[in-house]
Amino acid sequence: MLFMSSAAWSQSANDWESGEQIFGKICQYCHTQGVGPVLTDRNLPPVYFTTIARNGLNAMPAFRPTELSAADLEKVAAYLSQSASERNQ
């Protein structure tokens, strides 16, 4: 179970993916299903996402660099941080 999850996370860590796609593959299944709080449209700074994704928070798992690269994490954080202003433009 843990191994399979890690493999799925690693597979999604491709350079050509956008922050939105990475979010869809790695974060969405918890964060749009009521397991974790909604993350989009919250005006949270990118460092909030990178810090919690790397360290975890209670029931939220920590993502290691082998599961979610620094570059991909930056993209997800930028996408989530900007999700409000993009929608309201």
The residue ranges that bind ligand HEC (CB under 6 A) are 26-27, 30-31, 35-37, 39, 48-49, 52-53, 57-61, 63, 68, 76
Please say which residue, 38 or 87, places its beta carbon nearer to ligand HEC.
38
Amino acid identity, position 19: G
Q: How far apart are CA 25 and CA 32, in angstroms?
A: 12
The residue assigned the tokens 């930056």 is 74
| Shortest Å, Cβ 38 to ligand HEC | 8
Please say which residue, 69 or 85, places its beta carbon nearer to ligand HEC.
69
C-alpha closest to that of 52 among 30, 77, 82, 32: 77
